[in-house]
Structure 1
Amino acid sequence: MTARGQILGLAHSDEDLVEFLRRAGIEDAGPLLDNPRAVTWRGGRAHEYEAKR
């Protein structure tokens, strides 16, 4: 997870993302997860965290 150019960590769930965003100063970030202007999902589909083999 990267926010404002800073690496915050590796998310394993939506809850992880919300917590990283909270630490970055964004309260109530849950609704942002489905906003493509706010969140860019990379390496897979949105809300999927399992590693691809």
Structure 2
Amino acid sequence: MADPRIVVHPPSPEGGRRVHVDTTPVGVAYGVADLLEFLRRAGLDPEAVRLNDPVIKWRGAGPEVWGVASADDEGA
């Protein structure tokens, strides 16, 4: 299997996840829409990319996690 073209790094304490395409940093995504826009700008067809595709390497958490929840966010 080829190395992933897209790496989505773990969520940062401030929220968002750094994204690299072909080892080039392309920005910080705060959700799936941001990620798909980065892929579009990199020349990929966002409609053809599935979030569970092996071309994407999710580090630290999958596509359902974009920030770190605090106790206040959880209603504690």
Alignment TM class, shorter chain as reference = 0.7 to 0.9
**Higher strand proportion, which one?**
2
Q: CA RMSD in A?
A: 1.9
Q: Percent identity?
A: 29
Gaps of 5+ in 2: 1-18, 71-76
Give the AA of the match of 2:29: A
Greater relative contact order structure (CA < 8 Å, 6+ sep):
2
Gaps of 5+ in 1: none
Maintained 8 Å contact 2:26/2:38: yes
Give matches, 1:1-53, under 5 Å. Answer: 1-29=19-47, 31-35=49-53, 37-51=54-68
Return the TM-score normalized by structure 2.
Answer: 0.57
Q: Tell me which structure has the larger Cα radius of gyration.
A: 2
Give the AA of the match of 2:66: Y
